[in-house]
Structure 1
Amino acid sequence: MSQNATQFPPLKNDLLLRTLRGEQVERPPCWIMRQAGRYLPEYHEVKGKRDFFETCRNAEIASEITIQPIRHFKGLIDAAIIFSDILVIPQAMGMKVEMIEGKGPSFPRPLRTVDEVQKVLDYQVDVLKELDWAFKSISLTRTKLDGEVPLFGFCGGPWTLLVYMSEGGGSHLFRFAKQWINEHPDLSKKLLQKITDVAVEFLCQQVAAGAQVLQVFESWGGELSSMDFDEFSLPYLKQISEKVPKRLQGLGINEHIPIIVFAKNSWYALDKLCSLNFDAVSLDWSWDPKQALAINKGRVTLQGNLDPGVMYGSKETITKKVAYMIDRFGGGKKNYIVNFGHGTSPFMDPEQIRFFLQECHRLGSK
């Protein structure tokens, strides 16, 4: 069902969408990656003893967790992002993924042989069926938000998902992922293409369910050399940026749905990412904003890039670093979205984040 056929409450705060359209705005919009989650006490109350993916698949609970930061920081956050995970695509492709307390995501049977990869390539993915729960969560959340802020849908970048699928979880060495692209580059590209095809459909169906803006998380982009990024990440990100709008039209959705790409630590790729069909590029904290502005040359909106660790500092430190960031992004009244350079941590104090958000409003409105 397309957004045109679904009756959702009218949007009351379109600051993020106006910014992504390149309009002059009264202040930079602000949201935070991983803004819904473990640092909020109410998250633990709602999640209870359910495991992570069980929580994601329960539309009522996922929608509640998505809305918690909007409610907790009333009037301070300009977008909600659906509570889910990038690894739902490998799950839809027939792989088992577990979330282990204290360790993170784990694949009991990661891709280590050609035969295992071929099985995944041969697996017929029915996105609407396999990820039906995700679309239900989005539709319910969009309704419950009552138009307060726009709702993000998202997916993992193809290279990042290949890393998890081959490493079996997070990694420090990236041995198996690097082995795949160097020992079996053609097979790796077939797998990346399959992931891309699923990602495109997943993103578009999230929009059909009610998502108003999208983000692609290429979280392990910086583990590739510049040469390998051009071969094993950039072409697939480019496909996503070009195919999503076309597929949305095929679904009867003719309005422009903005897409943001976040390729963490991929400093060498910024110019190329700004030349793709994305509406915004999100930056990690390693960037000097003025350097990023100089490379971008006004082509897209930039998002970021405060080090989340600043939340462990004093209020004076937060004020100083937020002021520096907004100032060096040109004051934030055009083509800029405030965000962290990565996600929140479960150890962060919500009141520190509240102060950060308040300072973003105050300093961004000057």
Structure 2
Amino acid sequence: MVVPYPAHTDSDFPPLKNDLILRVARGETVERTPVWIMRQAGRYLPEFREERAKHDFFTICRTPELACLVTLQPIDRYEGLLDASIIFSDILVVPQALGLEVQMVPAKGPHFPDPLVDPSHLARLRTNVDVNEELRYVFEAITLTRTKLDGRCPLFGFVGAPWTLMAYMIEGGGSKTLSKAKSWLGRWPEESKTLLQRVTDVVVDFLVGQAKAGAQLLQVFDSWAGELSPAQFNTFSLPYIQQIPKRVRAALREINPDLASIPMVIFARGAHYALESLSTPEIGYDVISLDWTMDPASARARIGNGVSLQGNADPSLLYAPIATIKAEVAIMLEKFGSRTRYIANLGHGMHPDHDPEHLRAYLEAIRDVSTQRKS
């Protein structure tokens, strides 16, 4: 029998020196706009590429010391400019835990040598996934990283949303059309729901484990939400996304009531039509992350002030001259408002060919503009 991973509390770690993002998630007014970046640890950093040259991608994910090292690389490089870290891992560790092989192929990305082709392949998946056994390395990395951060900023844990994970498991990797995964929804809707529920159950257990290990915020990435029609989203994504906060917090409440207040973020990329559904108090997400195609003022008008927003500069902005980056940051902060209910970020993740110094300019601009507005 696998021993459950122990539940940690704040007293097990160094005191937190920067709680801006936690305060924003709770709806408090803060002295400046906090910022972190999706994929802030990764291929755009030369120090990460040095480690990647020595180790396979998933070896880094599965080795707590290496995952901690690369998680801290952007925190060290941009000292004082990032208000959160995010554990170095991958959303596809959940399909791995379910029994599928996933490879990270250079210059191509994730690859499933043997994806799910039809519902008969559901029998290939593990029926009872013990995250304490299959994903313990992530929990160990979180605990180690939380300690090594020394309270400089909070630590995010994360997971892929059930629909996005299902799509990868069927497509076998990235896809421009998701034709294989979406064909399941039409041909085998009930079997699709069965798969989505099985993924959801692992996702919930995984997030509970990350919170127990020391994660201070949790983000759910539905990267392919925008590939669904509103009706498909309401049938095959939303019912599973909305289970997650309720079930995670209920499980944490039984372990330690203090853990149940962990802020949770939803990023449903491209799902403009879902803002109202994702922001209801009943669903329980504290922060909604917007991609760069969504207008901040319109989003705020639609959802009200009950949740915080995160985002949403186009990652391609970082290819622009530094003067342009600074000017666009000022416009973005004006649209969001910079002192309450807002966490600055990109509208998606860093690109491999981004110049790290252009990210520095983006981070400095957010700090400078939001600080000036306070004064």
TM-score where L is the length of structure 2: 0.95
Report the Cα offset of residue 44 of structure 1: 1.6
* Change in CA separation of 1:206 and 1:6 when aligned onto 2, cut-off 3 Å: farther
Which of 305, 320, 326 is the matching residue for 1:298?
Answer: 305
Q: Distance in 1 between matches of 2:331 and 2:11?
A: 42
- Mean CA deviation greater in 314-323 or 163-172: 314-323
Q: Does 1:360 align with 2:358?
A: no
Match of 1:350 among 356, 368, 373: 356
Decide which moves more: 171-180 or 161-170.
171-180
Rounded Cα–Cα distance in structure 1 between residues aligned with 2:62 and 2:156: 17
Residues 53, 99 of structure 1: 8 Å contact kept: yes
Q: Deviations over 1:224-252 (max 9, x none)?
A: 00000000000101000211110111222
1:11 aligns with 2:8: no
Alpha-carbon distance in 2 for matches of 1:112, 1:46: 35
Please state if 1:93 is matched with 2:106.
no
CA distance in 2, matches of 1:174, 1:5: 42
1:338 aligns with 2:349: no
Counterparts of 1:177 and 1:206, CA distance in 2 = 28
Question: In the TM superposition, what whole-angstrom CA distance separates every residue of 1:190-218 from its partner, at most 9, and x where no partner exists?
Answer: 11001011000100100111101000000
2:12 match: secondary structure: coil
Separation in 1, partners of 2:301, 2:339: 17
Answer yes or no: is 1:65 the counterpart of 2:89: no
Paired AA for residue 207 in structure 2: L
Instruction: Give the Cα–Cα distance (whole angstroms) in 2 for the partners of residues 253 and 340 of structure 1.
Output: 33
| Aligned twin of 2:334 | 327
Query: Matches of 1:154 and 1:18 in 2, distance apart?
Result: 19
Q: Tell me, in whole angstroms, the C-alpha distance in 2 between the residues paired with 1:21 and 1:80.
A: 18
Aligned length: 364
Partner of 1:315: 322
Cα deviation code 1:152-172 (max 9, x no counterpart): 000000000000000000101
Q: Spell out the pairing of 1:94-173 with structure 2 (5 A cutoff).
A: 94-120=99-125, 123-173=127-177
| 1:90-125 deviations in Å (ceiling 9; x for gaps) | 0000111000001000001100022212332x5321
Residue 211 of structure 2: aligned partner: 207
Structure 1 partner of 2:58: 53
* Inter-partner Cα distance in structure 2 for 1:251 and 1:177: 36
Give the conservation status (yes or no) of the 8 Å contact 1:98–1:106: yes
Which residue does 1:286 correspond to in 2?
293
Aligned residue in 2 for 1:264: 269
Kindly indicate whether the alpha-carbon contact (under 8 Å) linking 1:33 and 1:339 is maintained by their aligned counterparts in 2: yes
Partners of 1:129 and 1:90 in 2: how far apart? 14
Letter in structure 1 aligned against 2:370: G
| C-alpha deviation, 1:6, in angstroms | 6.3
Structure 1: stretches of 5+ with no match in the other structure: none
Measured in 1, the distance between the counterparts of 2:253 and 2:186 equals: 37
Q: For 2:265, what is the secondary structure of its paired residue?
A: strand
Structure 2 contact 61–89 (Cα < 8 Å) conserved? yes
For structure 2, list consecutive stretches of 5 or more residues without a partner in the other structure.
Answer: 1-5
Give the CA RMSD over aligned residues.
1.1
1:195 aligns with 2:199: yes
1:227 is aligned to 2:234: no
Contact preservation (8 Å) 1:208, 1:253: no
1:154 partner amino acid: F
Aligned structure 1 segments of 4 or more residues deviating by more than 4 angstroms: none
Q: Does 1:277 align with 2:284?
A: yes
Match of 1:25 in 2: 30
Structure 2 vs 1, CA of residues 104 and 336 (structure 1 numbering), >3 Å: closer, same or farther?
A: same
> Secondary structure of 1:25's partner?
coil
- CA distance in 2: counterparts of 1:118 and 1:228, whole angstroms: 25
Q: Aligned partners of 1:171, 1:14: CA distance in 2, in Å?
A: 38
Q: Are the counterparts in 1 of residues 9 and 214 from structure 2 also a CA contact under 8 Å?
A: no
CA distance in 1 between counterparts of 2:194 and 2:119 reads 12
| Distance in 1 of aligned mates of 2:141 and 2:230 | 37
1:343 alignment partner AA? G
CA contact (8 A) 1:96 1:108 kept: yes
